[in-house]
Chains A and B, each alone.
Chain A
């Protein structure tokens, strides 16, 4: 786990002032924000593992946890993908390039990507779960030769919700990545690909799976996990090789405020990424 190195100059409870340097509209309710710490020196120390998160403050409105969606390979700035769902996220969506936000973190344990070199990687994500998954996926394809097969299953609600369509098209064209995508519903009949929940994509990769050598990274809505786990177990993948990112309410990010408690663990300290093995021993996890 990497430490919150940037936190030291102001203390871990006070956000670092940071500037929005680029905003990309992804869908009608989702934007990608590129962010740089105001203190330039600190940007060099802003290191993280894919799957870790930051707490972003909109001054005067509030502070929320958001997973890092860029790769730590790229230094100097980082990206957060944010879906509009409530107070803070609505306000972030009204902000402009140059506006100041607060950043604390990075916090938590991410996906064990460096630890699983030479393994086959299977990514499964739904909705905003794409964001933390994208960080570890970009990391793996930047070091393509370090990994075996790379498989990616992504489902979203409807065609207008699909994140990063251009990037996805590029991945689909690549021969060294198996990228499959689906939407739950296609009411306007404008989607050419697979229609159905993310688990309907599993037949596409079933033959490619070497259950002993595959590590799975999963992120998405809680309801998705149950069904995905069933599919993964059908493929014979062991619980210890399945990693899921769990969402909980968080106010501190450092194991103090207790909002993210799950059984005898805290999502912010011990997670948000847990192995399915760990989750099996956790009361109230899924």
Chain B
């Protein structure tokens, strides 16, 4: 069998082994906030974030689509000098990357972004980082907190997008299920940390999956959501939420499937060289659709509030066959105005 067992107390050893060969990104606390960051040893990793069900504030999108990132460098007279490939290789110190401890909903979120950045025209900046990354996911057997609605968004059982899935089958053991060539290689390359599966382990795994299946509940029906949202274009519901919203953009920044960006030119003090920076943007900001001559294609706050929902629940499903939401609940947690995406959708559907 390709799947193997790893004991919980060997997880730090796995991290330490991985740090020899990869740039490792894992859950840590940054000023008490759960965060994915680069670690040099297992002592920096906060395993309780994983096993006490806390979601890092920013999803793993920050690895492939950082808040700010250099796309290419240039000389103002001669043009492009350094391509994005060279730059992103330097960012990861010419190493491959492992992200350890990604939750299933975040795996689905990465999957959403990957598809968007690969389709039509492949975005080499995103994919260069994505394709050199191995994702080790840690399974959830229950809703991690009250804002989670992953079951509603069908995101807690991703079929692809991760390389190894670790599922707790007892307090001391996890089953490591590889899901790609990269994942199989991890299990092969560190044989001393992985052991064969016994029949009892297999049974415990099935029990764990059954427990997961029993624990997760849907909150509302997503079927038909796109047409509900589109049909509600003129609804008063948008007004109600627009009045509460501060348009701070927090919900878009913490969202694993929000990917809008803008670009800026950063020029050296001697005005000789520069670089293009890609930076997170938010459709909630007034400048987002503003063009020359002060013409704004989304002039009112209501249009801007509504557009995020149109994009996530109408445009993306029709274009890619998935919603732009994995139900992680981060936007609910971090909204200073107490706006809950579930309330908006339930009102649109007419069940609240």
Does A248 lie within 8 Å of B71, measured CB to CB? no
Does A10 lie within 8 Å of B83, measured CB to CB? yes
Residues B110-165 near A (CB distance < 8 A):
116-117, 119-126
CB neighbours of B75 from chain A (8 A): 59
Q: Work out how many contacts link A and B, with CB atoms closer than 8 A.
A: 132
Contact bitstring A243-255, B, C-beta under 8 A = 1, else 0? 0000111011011
The segment out of A60-68, A173-181, A194-202, A231-239 that lies at the interface is A60-68
CB neighbours of A249 from chain B (8 A): 288-291, 297
Q: Is A264 engaged at the interface, CB distance under 8 Å to the other chain?
A: yes
Q: Is B201 engaged at the interface, CB distance under 8 Å to the other chain?
A: no
Using C-beta atoms within 8 Å of the partner chain, give the interface range for chain B.
35 or more
Inter-chain CA distance A86–B80, complex, in Å, is 23
Does A254 lie within 8 Å of B120, measured CB to CB? yes
Question: Taking each of A57, A59, A107, A257, which has the highest tally of chain B beta carbons within 10 Å of its own beta carbon?
Answer: A59
Please tell me the number of chain A residues within 8 Å of chain B, measured between CB atoms: 45
Q: Is B314 engaged at the interface, CB distance under 8 Å to the other chain?
A: yes
A34 to chain B, nearest CB (A): 17
Q: Is A272 engaged at the interface, CB distance under 8 Å to the other chain?
A: no
Q: Is A11 engaged at the interface, CB distance under 8 Å to the other chain?
A: yes
Contact bitstring B232-264, A, C-beta under 8 A = 1, else 0? 010000000000000000000000000111110
User: Which B residue's beta carbon lies closest to that of A16?
Assistant: B80
Q: Is A259 engaged at the interface, CB distance under 8 Å to the other chain?
A: yes
User: Which B residue's beta carbon lies closest to that of A14?
Assistant: B72
CB neighbours of A256 from chain B (8 A): 116-117, 123, 126, 259, 261
Residue in B83, B120, B259, B261 whose beta carbon sits within 8 Å of that of A11 in the complex: B83
Does B261 lie within 8 Å of A257, measured CB to CB? yes
Residues A228-286 near B (CB distance < 8 A):
247-249, 251-252, 254-259, 261-265, 269, 283-284
Does B315 lie within 8 Å of A247, measured CB to CB? no
Q: Is A190 engaged at the interface, CB distance under 8 Å to the other chain?
A: no
Does B298 lie within 8 Å of A284, measured CB to CB? yes
Known: A11-B85, A14-B84, A59-B74. A251 touches B79 (CB 8 A): no
Known: A17-B80, A59-B79, A256-B117. A263 touches B261 (CB 8 A): no
B147 to chain A, nearest CB (A): 25
Residues A39-75 near B (CB distance < 8 A):
57, 59-63
Q: Is B267 engaged at the interface, CB distance under 8 Å to the other chain?
A: yes
Does B291 lie within 8 Å of A251, measured CB to CB? no
Contact bitstring B62-104, A, C-beta under 8 A = 1, else 0? 0000000001101111111001110000000000000000000
Given A59-B274, A60-B267, A248-B297, list of 13 further CB < 8 A pairs?
A12-B123, A12-B124, A13-B123, A62-B263, A102-B79, A248-B289, A251-B261, A252-B261, A256-B117, A256-B126, A258-B259, A264-B314, A265-B315
Q: List 27 A-B contacts (CB under 8 A).
A: A13-B71, A14-B71, A14-B124, A15-B79, A16-B80, A38-B79, A59-B75, A59-B76, A60-B74, A62-B265, A63-B263, A100-B77, A248-B289, A249-B291, A255-B116, A255-B119, A256-B123, A256-B126, A257-B281, A258-B259, A259-B260, A259-B289, A261-B283, A261-B311, A264-B315, A265-B315, A284-B298
- A residues near B (Cβ < 8 Å) are 4, 7, 10-18, 38, 57, 59-63, 85-86, 89, 100-102, 107, 222, 247-249, 251-252, 254-259, 261-265, 269, 283-284
